[in-house]
Structure 1
Amino acid sequence: MIIGLTGGIGSGKSTVASAFEALGAGFVDADHVAREIVQPGEPALALIIDHFGANFMRPDGTLDRPALRERVFQDPAQRRWLESVTHPRIRERLMARLTDLSRQAPYVLLVSPLLFESGQDALVERTLVVDVPAEIQLSRTLARDGVSEEQIHAILAAQLPREQRLAKADDVIDNSQDQAHMRRQVERLDRYYRDL
């Protein structure tokens, strides 16, 4: 069984996924795969540099992800172009990883901030939303990523609104309290997913 785990920026998706992994679940992180497919030597990187220009490449040959993020979140047409190049490649690699992991674990999590927006929810049997209020999203992301508040709001605008994400969820973890509170919810859902 594949569970799609999603949540807004700064909601704690990775922390929740790690808690499930500690209990024996497997997980694949779409963000990690998204970084892989634009590494030097990958076809997507060449297409991106051809489209946006060499100024989006760092001296070491890697993609300047912060500069590209800033550019595409200012221009929805450019963001759509980028997604048309990256999303099919991400999906293909995700499927291969999920298939491999499903042979080894009782269930597998597909961790994706854009699970619903990208159509990746079609790959899963259930959806799990990690939820926190907007003010917690903002404070955690400011502390973690060192980006501007304006850029965080642009990222939030590209994600499904909280209410819509919650309406699409089969299961929800409230990650607005301490780690122990989160782990109790993970343990309960782990038992439930194993029973399914």
Structure 2
Amino acid sequence: MSTSTVPFVGLTGGLAAGKSTALAALERLGARTLSTDEVVHELYAGEELRDLVVARWGSGVAPGGVVDRAAIAKHAFADPAERQWLESQVWPRVGAAVVAFRQDADAADPRPPAAVVETPLLFEAGMQDAYDATIAVVAPEDVRRARAEERGHHGVDERNSRHLSQEEKSARATYTVVNDGSVDDLERRLAAVLDELQP
């Protein structure tokens, strides 16, 4: 890792393991942070992507001019070719946002300890090589189940989805951070990772 650039880190983890909580903790610790989910939300809120999906699937996917992500999912996941089309529109735009984010972090003064991008499907999409290091946030099954139920999601079974198990993510990641206690506990563990990342 060269000393001239800020460590570029991919953050991922199991469903309901606490990725967003970890990202917020890293920001409090001084890291520059970006959520790819938030980038996608912003893209859908803009006119360019909205107009593309309306042209593809009709005005029903954006009632009143506001994109309905559930309606988009129905089209995209019904047919692999449609999903491929959607990803070909979304991912290059997300990629451009990530590149701009990294350039801003490298130019920042004072220099942040890391530039961290939360990427839920980091390993599934084969994006790990784009980063200097990766962090997997994991949590015990009962903790994840309780968090998922609090959010109104039923279960966190990853076997039938596009997600790897959190054990697999942990095995592939540079660092694994267990989120089984308080936010302060999580922050301390992440601070130790940031220390290790320094050149």
The TM-score with structure 1 as length reference comes to 0.84
| Structure 1 residue 95, shift from structure 2 partner | 0.8
In the alignment, which residue of structure 2 is the partner of 1:108? Answer: 115
Is 1:141 the equivalent of 2:148?
yes
Figure out how many residues of one structure are paired with residues of the other and give that number. Answer: 190
Q: Which of 14, 26, 38 in structure 1 is aligned with 2:20?
A: 14
- CA drift of 1:27 comes to 0.8
Give the conservation status (yes or no) of the 8 Å contact 1:73–1:154: no
CA separation in 2, counterparts of 1:78 and 1:133?
36
SS of residue matched to 2:88: helix
Structure 1 match to 2:43? 37
Counterpart CA distance in 1 for 2:10 and 2:147 is 22
Seen in structure 2, the aligned counterparts of structure 1 residues 48 and 16 have a Cα distance that, compared at 3 Å, is same
Q: Distance in 2 between matches of 1:142 and 1:68?
A: 24
- Where do residues 173-192 of structure 1 align in structure 2 (5 Å cutoff)? 173-192=177-196
Q: How far 1:168 moved relative to its partner?
A: 1.0
Give the TM-score taking structure 2 as reference length: 0.83
Q: Where do 1:62-141 residues align within 5 Å?
A: 62-73=66-77, 75-104=79-108, 105-141=112-148
Distance 1:94 1:156 in 2: 29
- Say which one has the larger Rg: 2
| SS of equivalent residue, structure 2 residue 39 | helix
Unaligned runs of 5+ in 1: none
Q: Give 1:57's match in structure 2, choosing from 59, 62, 68.
A: 62
Between Structure 1 and Structure 2, the one with more helix by share is 1
| Native 8 Å contact 2:10 2:117 kept in 1 | yes
Change (3 A) 1:169 1:154: closer
